[in-house]
Structure 1
């Protein structure tokens, strides 16, 4: 595989090449606008060189130092290397090099960006492993640092829960029955955020992951709980995290323990009994793991895993 310098050299013949930050920024903006690409995707500083080979669609950028930019609305930091190369065509960047996401464990190289996928108002980022995430265009456009703007997971309203803050609600239930709690939540930064969800005396800390959803949020299920009174109180608490996780959509469902089908020793073998599913929840619900059978939201099953496990429906 050719190095970045070799690739640039091979594409230099017939290319327009510019030097100096002011003219480079101007020419970059012109090319990105021509190909209906977002200028906000390339947050570079002290650009020293810009080249564009129109016949192949290849462009390259050089900046003085490696830079980082945090897209606050999606809670993701992007790292830009000193040299960036990419092939462009309308609404599409492919074979991108020099751009990575900054993660807690390992950085992920972004190799492709598609505007208008999976829907017109979204941008899809594809990593070198083939995994992808999509975000609303509005979450990536120029940000006014003086205005706090957060993504609402669903609908028009949601609740950011500040440091050590909590919300709670008491409601009537059927004493002795098993219930399951489902909620949708989103992070507001790239760092780990958690929520403490409790139905006293049971209490669980749930790490917010934001793994797959286009909306920038995920749906979670807390452990099932068996009620011992006619009234219970559900409490959501931010356990001292500096950032404010956003809570939206909360539902509680009474669970039933299915009868064993005739000639089948497996209980709930078709997984038809499980936690509440919100409408149009195509990516399913993240299940808590490593719980005993009595607190599992999949009656009859114990879910054991160190990774995300999703309960899906046909939607």
Structure 2
């Protein structure tokens, strides 16, 4: 796949999670966004474009109880990382009602409001407290 060309790839759950933590910290995103991942096989990142991909053994569903939302992470996830933002996110859905809408963008407000915004492929965006996505992932 052309998007992955020139990417640095880490394989194995522990190495992949260390890389994920490092990338989320570097780009100012809450670590809890990826804490539900399980049995990660591979993570890759192309610094020139910001393209990141994650492959895990199987689909994972997770409840973010503080905001009463269920999120589904497919076995393959990809996005473009920017400062405080995941763009063109693929492989993540959020359960509102049935069906699960595809999540396309996630960004953290730079102001002191402490809000994270999650936008569906259909264009609607919802905001949540960033604390709902904090985690001790990798620490």
TM-score by length of 1: 0.41
Match of residue 38 from structure 1: 30
Query: Contact (CA 8 Å) 1:118, 1:134: kept in 2 or not?
Result: no
In structure 1, the gaps of 5 or more residues are 1-8, 144-315
Runs of 4+ that moved beyond 6 A: none
- The answer to whether the aligner puts 1:91 opposite 2:84 as a matched pair is yes
CA separation of 1:137/1:110 partners in 2, compared to 1, >3 Å: closer, same or farther?
A: same
1:242-295 CA-partner distances (Å, limit 9, x unpaired):
xxxxxxxxxxxxxxxxxxxxxxxxxxxxxxxxxxxxxxxxxxxxxxxxxxxxxx
Match of residue 5 from structure 2: 13
- Across the aligned residues of Structure 1 and Structure 2, the Cα RMSD in angstroms comes to 1.5
Match of 1:50 among 19, 43, 52: 43
In structure 2, the gaps of 5 or more residues are none
The number of residue pairs the alignment matches comes to 135
Distance 2:53 2:64 in 1: 22
Distance 2:133 2:28 in 1: 15
Query: Contact (CA 8 Å) 2:39, 2:57: kept in 1 or not?
Result: yes
1:282-301 paired onto structure 2 within 5 Å? none
1:39-78 CA-partner distances (Å, limit 9, x unpaired):
2112210000100000000000000000011000000000
Greater strand fraction, Structure 1 or Structure 2: 2
> Per the alignment, in what secondary structure is the counterpart of residue 117 of structure 2?
strand
1:1-315 paired onto structure 2 within 5 Å? 9-42=1-34, 43-116=36-109, 120-142=113-135
Distance 1:110 1:11 in 2: 20
Distance 2:89 2:95 in 1: 16
1:156-194 CA-partner distances (Å, limit 9, x unpaired):
xxxxxxxxxxxxxxxxxxxxxxxxxxxxxxxxxxxxxxx
- Report deviation, 1:117: 6.5
The higher relative CO (CA closer than 8 Å, separation ≥ 6) is in: 2
TM-score by length of 2: 0.91
Query: Contact (CA 8 Å) 1:109, 1:127: kept in 2 or not?
Result: yes
CA separation of 1:52/1:98 partners in 2, compared to 1, >3 Å: closer, same or farther?
A: same
Query: Contact (CA 8 Å) 2:30, 2:135: kept in 1 or not?
Result: no
